[in-house]
Structure 1
Amino acid sequence: MYQNTKAAFTKLKNNKFFELSVICVIIISALEIGAKTFPLSNTAVSITSLLDTFITVFFLFEISIRFLTDDNKKHFFKSGWNVFDTLVVVISLIPVNDSEMALLARLVRVFRVLRMVSVVPELRVLINSLIKALPQLGYVVLLMFIIFYIYAAIGSFLFSTINPVLWGDIAISMLTLFRVMTFEDWTDIQYETMEVYPYSWIYYMTFIFFTAFAFLNMVIGIVVNVMEEEHAKEKNKNEPSLSELKQEISELKSLILQLDEKQKQ
């Protein structure tokens, strides 16, 4: 009985229509969350409440199927995505109204949109790549912070009398430099200081070269490299390894030899 039920649930889980249904429900959940940010009529509030109940029940059903069809249930919660999905579903069961944890329940319902990442394998590869790239990115970010700090100190010393709003202290100067790095009206800041220091353009050009061009390209290069490694790992998982092929060939050879011996006898 259990095996038949498990086989039926496994067939349902692997069904493309069911996978599309999960994605559609996640999209509906996102739209329902967005709709609640607008002023709604009593009818619309009732509809969103019914939708919220349906979405919660559907997600509970879907995570239950995934757990029941897992071959190794002890390792089910060793996957970070399974833990995340389970927490979102369990906390979504908290009633939104008349509860001390209503705010938590509402916030968790927002994170239901992130379940799209756990459902779509390509998105999982992207997130895993970003997470695995963090240790390497940390050194680049640290070096970028050092450059920011040096340039902010220089800018504060030189330009604080010109515009204390932008260069009053080192913290404000770093925010101003972030604005320069993102090219948000940075030429206005440059021309303002050039009226007092004509060669201050060198300060801005070198800062933009180090941050916007050099370091950001380093970040992109690291992320792309890790993404390629993750795609290669996923491809290797789906394709049989050389050792597995050799083992299968040796098993086939042994079977053929056994059949030949039986025929001779």
Structure 2
Amino acid sequence: MHPVVVWSVALIIIANFIINIVEKEIDPDVANLQYAAFWSGCDTVSNILFLLELLANMYGYGFGKMFWGSGWNVFDFIIVAVGILLMTGIDLGGMAKLKLMRAFRVFRLFKRIKSLNKIITALLSAVPGVANAFIILFIFFCIYAILAVELFRDFGSNGTYMTDDLNDVSHINDAYTPRGYTNGREYYGTWTRAMYSMFQLMTGDSWAEALGRPLVFGLYQKSTFTAGAFFISFIILTNMVLTNVVVAVLLDKFVAPPSPPMTDEEVNHFITFIKWTSEKEKQNREAAQALLPPPDPTVEPRPPSPKSALVARLAAEHEQELLLPIRIERIEKSSQRVAALLDELFAQSVGPSPEPA
């Protein structure tokens, strides 16, 4: 938990992540690696460092339930265990693909850097609300996919579709896609294809030329209402409304809820404590004044002289020294009273503590 250890491990994770990026940039051919020894050495050093850090972490938690009760610790254990297993060189067959888990090591930063951990924690807490919004979005996707299969599946089924210009001149257009399917069969032939087309439509990825315009101009030639209403309503509902609902729910979970206000009983206790403290302070001041010698009525007060300023200051300091033990005792008593009151308020809000077994 020490900041030096936390940031040292974070720098090792970042360095390992950067090495993986450089490897895939300058030496991407796994079957013919140019610097295989260097990449293997870096991976071995990283695995050993991560193993030592994991063992130290497990030792700090006592190798018990406290360690395994944290999801981040379980994630660390899986990542490190996979790395050590691959480092042994054992023939794992298809399990060798576990090497891809190296890319996920960078997620361990979210455990060690508090600012990143807060974001991930907020995202995880937002999952239930966001999931509900996604379910609504998914339902609309399903509805429009069903409609698309019903309306557009047979579009261009004979390999062509016809359009009309303003002079009532018909044009025959090729309905085949680069994959050899007709337009309707490729994009709307089945429910799953239509679902993917709806996702492309929502993201705005070249949907107009591939998905929309052939249907708008060629489905019913001069009547563009059916295709136009279908696409425009889908974009308004999903891209403009429901996706913003998802974002709104997500942002709402990032805002910390306000602290609960004090109850009436707690406010009454606090007011009583302030009154009682003020009364005790008054009594302490009167007791301190009683310790001072009374003024002599036979001595006439003299006008202050310039030389008496130093004497007056020294006398005031001497008076403060005389009252110092009284003030220390008063501060200690006030601290004890505050502690007792806080204990009382905490016991009332939490409830009585369980009896020891």
The TM-score normalised by the length of structure 2 is: 0.56
The 2-side partners of 1:254 and 1:74 are apart by 47
Aligned partner of 1:257: which letter? K
Query: Does the 8 Å contact 1:194/1:201 carry over to 2?
Result: yes
Aligned-residue identity in percent? 22
- The Cα of 1:95 is off from its aligned counterpart by 3.7
The 2-side partners of 1:253 and 1:223 are apart by 54
Q: Which region of structure 1 is more displaced relative to structure 2, 120-129 or 171-180?
A: 120-129
Aligned to 2:333: 257
Aligned to 2:136: 143
Query: Does the 8 Å contact 2:216/2:228 carry over to 1?
Result: yes
Bigger proportion of residues as helix: 1
| Cα offsets for 1:138-197 (capped at 9, x unmatched) | 222222122112111222222222222212122211111111100011211221111134
Aligned to 1:26: 13
Matched, 1:182 2:203: yes
Matched, 1:131 2:131: no
The 2-side partners of 1:23 and 1:253 are apart by 49
- The Cα of 1:24 is off from its aligned counterpart by 2.0
Can you give the 5+ residue segments of structure 2 that lack an aligned partner in the other structure?
156-183, 260-265, 271-276, 278-327, 337-357
Of residues 168, 171, 174 in structure 1, which corresponds to 2:189?
168
Query: Does the 8 Å contact 2:86/2:96 carry over to 1?
Result: no
The 2-side partners of 1:99 and 1:30 are apart by 24
Can you give the 5+ residue segments of structure 1 that lack an aligned partner in the other structure?
1-12, 234-241, 261-265
Aligned to 1:15: 3
Q: Which region of structure 1 is more displaced relative to structure 2, 171-180 or 127-136?
A: 127-136
Matched, 1:194 2:216: yes
Q: Which region of structure 1 is more displaced relative to structure 2, 99-108 or 208-217?
A: 99-108
Aligned partner of 2:214: which letter? E
Aligned to 2:175: none
How does 1:212-251 map onto structure 2 within 5 Å?
212-229=239-256
- The Cα of 1:62 is off from its aligned counterpart by 2.1
The 1-side partners of 2:33 and 2:215 are apart by 57
Between structure 1 and structure 2, the one with the greater Rg is 2
How does 1:90-169 map onto structure 2 within 5 Å?
90-96=81-87, 98-101=89-92, 103=96, 105-162=98-155, 163-169=184-190
| 60 and 205 in structure 1: CA distance in 2 versus 1, 3 angstrom threshold | same
| Cα offsets for 1:181-228 (capped at 9, x unmatched) | 000112112211111341121211110111111111111111111122
- The Cα of 1:100 is off from its aligned counterpart by 3.0
| 166 and 95 in structure 1: CA distance in 2 versus 1, 3 angstrom threshold | closer
| Cα offsets for 1:124-143 (capped at 9, x unmatched) | 22222222222222222222
- The Cα of 1:72 is off from its aligned counterpart by 9.9
Query: Does the 8 Å contact 2:10/2:109 carry over to 1?
Result: yes
Q: Which region of structure 1 is more displaced relative to structure 2, 118-127 or 186-195?
A: 118-127
Aligned-residue Cα RMSD (Å) equals 3.4
- The Cα of 1:110 is off from its aligned counterpart by 2.8
Q: Which region of structure 1 is more displaced relative to structure 2, 71-80 or 190-199?
A: 71-80
Give 3-state SS (helix, strand or coil) of 1:161's partner: coil
| 110 and 42 in structure 1: CA distance in 2 versus 1, 3 angstrom threshold | closer
